[in-house]
Structure 1
C-alpha cells in the first residue's frame, strides 16, 4: 500500500461514523427457520495483537445470541481463543488431532462453551508442530477443509481464529473458508502488512479456492481521541472503500478483563460500549450477507 501521507483529521459530525460515512443502524436479524450448512469465515492478519481472537470470541457469542449456531476453531498454537472461552485444551482432542489423524472425529473435539449456541474446537501448543507434519501430505492445503466438511451441516457459521502468520496453517484456513474478515489495528504500522495479506488471499483464490471473498476489514483498537487513529482509519477507507466495515471496535481494558474471566464481553459486561459494538458487527455482517 505504501506509506501513509498524513493530513488533517476529519471532524466527526453528529450521526456520522468516524470517517464521515453515514452510520447505519443495522436491524436485529430475523430468526432462522433452519440451520446449516455453515458459511466459514477466517479471521486473518499476519500481524499479532490486532484483535483476531477477541473478535472471534465476541462475534461468535453475539451471533449465538441472535440464534445462530456457531463453531469457533482455535487455529493458533497459543490457544488464546480456547482460554478466552474457558475450555479445556489439554488431555482432550484438539484441532491438531483432527488435522493429523483421518480416524479422529470432529464431534469428539467439539466443546460447549458458557454461551448457548457457541461451540469450540480447542488448540494448544501441539499445533505448532502441525506445519512440519503436514508439509509432505498430499493436498496439504485442503486438510482443514476436509475436517470442517464433516460438521458444516450442524452450524450456521464457522469462525477460524488464525495464527499471526501466512504459513501453511493460515493457507489451510483460507482454503477452507468462504470469506475472510481482517481485523486491523488503527495504528500506522498495522497497515503495512495488509497489502501482503490481500495478495495472499488473491493467490489462494487463483490456485486453491476460487470462491473465497473478502468479507470486510474491521477497524479495531480505535481511539477517537487521537488524531493518529482517525487518520489511519481515513486512509484505510480511502484504500479499500466499502470493504471497510462501518462498525469500529474501540480500545478498552474490558477486553483483557473478560479474557481472564473466560467469557465474551457480551456476557462479562453486556452494557459496555464494546459489547454494543460487537452486536453492531454481527448485525452488519448479517446485513451484508456474510452470515445467514
Structure 2
C-alpha cells in the first residue's frame, strides 16, 4: 500500500492513505516531548449545552492521558451534578469546592485542590451547591469573570486546566468561556446533538466579542461513534462538511467500558489501559499537543 510517512520525531506525524472515520488520511500523532518546566496553564473548557455527549468522560480521560505524558493537569468540576468528582473518586462534601471559591476570595484555591489516583492529575470538586451559584452571583460586579480570577491564583502550578461545564449556556458556562483560552466541544454522533453546535459556536463568538477576545475553538470531538450504524457515519460526515479542520481527527467510539470505569471511579486509561478507548484518548492528548492546544 502506498504511504506518505514522516518520522514521528520530527513533529509532523505519520500519514497513510488509510482513511479514518472523519474521511481524512489516518494520522499517528507523535508522542509529546517531556516538559522542562511547568506552567502557566492553558485553560480549556469542555462545553456543550446538550447533556450526555461525553464532556465529563472526556475531561477525566483527557486529563489522565495528559498526565501520563508528564503534564500537570487540574480538572474543574463545574457541573452541579458533580459527575467529574464522582468519576475521579474525590470527596465533595465537607470540603471546599469550586462553589465556595466563586463566592469567597478569602478561601485559598489550593485548599480546594484534591489529588486523584492518577499522578499529575488534580481536581477541584463540585456538587449540587453549584446550582445556586447563578442566583448568588447575579448581582456581583464582573460576574462573568469570577472563575477567571479563581484560576489565575493556581495557573502557575499546572500546564493545563480542564473545565467540565454543565449542559447549559447560562452564567456558569459563560464564566468558563471567559476564563478559557480554548474550547473543546464533545459532540455525540447523533442528529439532535448536531443541531446545537451552531448555537454554541455563536455563544463562543459573543464571548470573544464582549468578554474574552483571546478564546479559540480548539476542536470538535466526535464521541459515542458507532461505525456499524449509517446514522453515526452520516452525522460525522455532516460535521466534517460543516466545520472542516475544526473537527478533531481523533474519534471516540461507544463502549460499555466507559460506564464500568465510572463505577470504579477511575479513568479508563487505568481501568482498561489496553482497550481501544484508552488508545483513542491517548491519541486525543497527542493531537491536542500537536495542534498547540496543550504545551
Q: Indicate whether the TM-score tops 0.5.
A: yes
Instruction: Classify the secondary structure of the residue corresponding to 2:167.
Output: coil
Matched, 1:201 2:204: yes
Matched, 1:64 2:67: yes
Residue of structure 1 in register with 2:238 after alignment = 235
1:267 to 266, 270, 273: 270
Instruction: Classify the secondary structure of the residue corresponding to 1:182.
Output: strand
Matched, 1:180 2:183: yes
Task: Please list every run of 5 or more consecutive structure 1 residues that lacks an aligned counterpart in the other structure.
Answer: 1-12
- Within-5 A mapping of 1:127-138: 127-138=130-141
Instruction: Classify the secondary structure of the residue corresponding to 1:23.
Output: strand
1:26 to 19, 25, 29: 29
Residue of structure 2 in register with 1:90 after alignment = 93
Contact 2:45/2:184 (<8 A) preserved:
yes
Contact 2:65/2:285 (<8 A) preserved:
yes
- Give the TM-score taking structure 2 as reference length: 0.94
2:193 to 190, 200, 210: 190
| 1:20-59 superposed Cα distances (whole Å, 9 cap, x missing partner) | 2111110000000100000000000000000000000000
Residue of structure 2 in register with 1:9 after alignment = none
- Structure 1 stretches of 4+ with a deviation exceeding 4 A read none
- Give the TM-score taking structure 1 as reference length: 0.95
| 1:216-255 superposed Cα distances (whole Å, 9 cap, x missing partner) | 0000000000000000000000000000000000000000
Q: By how many angstroms is 1:71 displaced?
A: 0.1
| 1:131-150 superposed Cα distances (whole Å, 9 cap, x missing partner) | 00000000000000000000
Distance in structure 2 (CA, Å) of the matches to 1:128 and 1:74: 12
1:42 to 19, 42, 45: 45
Distance in structure 2 (CA, Å) of the matches to 1:256 and 1:14: 34
Q: By how many angstroms is 1:14 displaced?
A: 6.9
Distance in structure 2 (CA, Å) of the matches to 1:214 and 1:236: 15
Distance in structure 1 (CA, Å) of the matches to 2:223 and 2:209: 29
Contact 2:114/2:123 (<8 A) preserved:
yes
Residue of structure 1 in register with 2:171 after alignment = 168
After superposing the two structures, state which structure 1 stretch, 276-285 or 20-29, moved more.
20-29
What RMSD, in angstroms, separates the aligned Cα atoms of the two structures?
0.8
Residue of structure 1 in register with 2:282 after alignment = 279
